[in-house]
C-alpha cells in the first residue's frame, strides 16, 4: 500500500504530538480524580469544631452567658481572648463614645425643636400668630395667609361679577340662562 503523507510530515502534526504526550495527561487526570475521591472519603472522619456567633452572646462549653453593654458604640479595644477566664465586673470591650455623644447631642437638639413646635402650636391655637418661633410653622402660616388673600380676592372678584350680571339681568340685557351660569 502506498502512503499518502511521508513520515517526516506526519511526525510534525498535532495528532502525533498529542499521541506522544497523551500518557502524561492521563496520569495527571487520574491523580486529580484520585485526590478528589480521597478528600470526599475522608470528610466523615475529619472533625472540625464549629462555633456559633451571636449578637452580644459569648458561648462557652458549659453554659451561655449574655453580655450586654449599657451604651452602644464602636469597639475601640477588645480585651477578649480564647480560653480567658472572665469574672463579673471585668472589662471586656472598650467602646468609643464619640458617636454616642453625637447621637445624644442630636437627640437633645431634636427634643428642643419639638418643644418649640409644641409652643408654636399652642400659640396658633390661641390665635397668637405673631409669636411663632420655628421656621416650619412660620412658612406654613405664610402659605396659609397667602392662600387666604388669594381666596378673598377671588370672592371679591366673583361678587363683582355677580353684581354686574345682576344689573344686566335686571335691565334685561342678559338672558336668564346666561345669568344663572
Divide the 181 residues of the chain into consecutive groups of 10 and give the mean pLDDT of each group. 74 77 78 94 81 56 66 78 80 80 90 91 84 87 92 94 86 77 71
Residue spans of the domains in the chain: they are 7-42, 57-96, 102-176
Q: What pLDDT score was predicted for residue 96?
A: 80
Residue 38 sits at φ, ψ, to 5 deg, of: -65, -40
| 8 Å CB contact between 165 and 179 | yes
Give whole-number Cα distances, 135 to 117, 139, 146, 173, in Å: 10, 6, 16, 54
For CA atoms 128, 129, 135, 141, the dihedral sign is positive
Q: What pLDDT score was predicted for residue 153?
A: 95
Write out the three cell numbers for 180. Answer: 344663572
Q: How many CB atoms lie within 10 A of CB 137?
A: 19
Q: What pLDDT score was predicted for residue 57?
A: 54
Q: What pLDDT score was predicted for residue 60?
A: 60
Q: What pLDDT score was predicted for residue 41?
A: 92
Q: How many CB atoms lie within 10 A of CB 109?
A: 10
Place of cell 502506498: 2
Q: Is the pTM of this model over 0.85?
A: no
What is the separation of C-alpha 41 from the centre of its chain, rounded to a whole number of angstroms? 45
Write out the three cell numbers for 130. Answer: 405673631
Q: Give the DSSP letter of residue 54.
A: B
Amino acid at each position: 500500500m502506498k502512503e499518502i503523507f511521508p513520515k517526516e510530515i506526519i511526525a510534525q502534526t498535532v495528532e502525533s504530538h498529542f499521541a506522544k504526550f497523551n500518557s502524561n495527561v492521563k496520569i495527571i487526570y487520574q491523580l486529580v480524580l484520585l485526590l478528589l475521591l480521597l478528600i470526599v472519603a475522608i470528610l466523615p472522619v475529619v472533625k472540625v469544631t464549629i462555633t456559633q456567633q451571636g449578637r452580644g452572646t459569648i458561648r462557652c462549653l458549659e453554659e451561655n452567658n449574655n453580655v450586654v453593654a449599657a451604651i452602644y458604640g464602636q469597639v475601640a479595644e477588645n480585651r477578649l481572648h480564647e480560653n480567658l477566664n472572665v469574672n463579673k465586673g471585668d472589662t471586656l470591650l472598650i467602646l468609643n463614645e464619640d458617636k454616642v455623644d453625637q447621637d445624644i447631642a442630636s437627640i437633645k437638639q431634636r427634643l428642643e425643636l419639638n418643644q418649640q413646635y409644641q409652643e408654636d402650636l399652642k400659640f396658633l391655637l390661641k390665635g397668637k400668630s405673631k409669636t411663632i418661633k420655628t421656621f416650619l410653622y412660620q412658612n406654613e402660616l405664610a402659605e396659609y395667609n397667602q392662600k387666604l388673600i388669594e381666596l378673598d380676592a377671588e370672592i371679591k372678584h366673583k361678587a363683582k361679577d355677580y353684581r354686574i350680571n345682576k344689573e344686566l339681568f335686571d335691565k334685561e340685557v342678559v338672558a336668564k340662562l346666561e345669568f344663572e351660569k
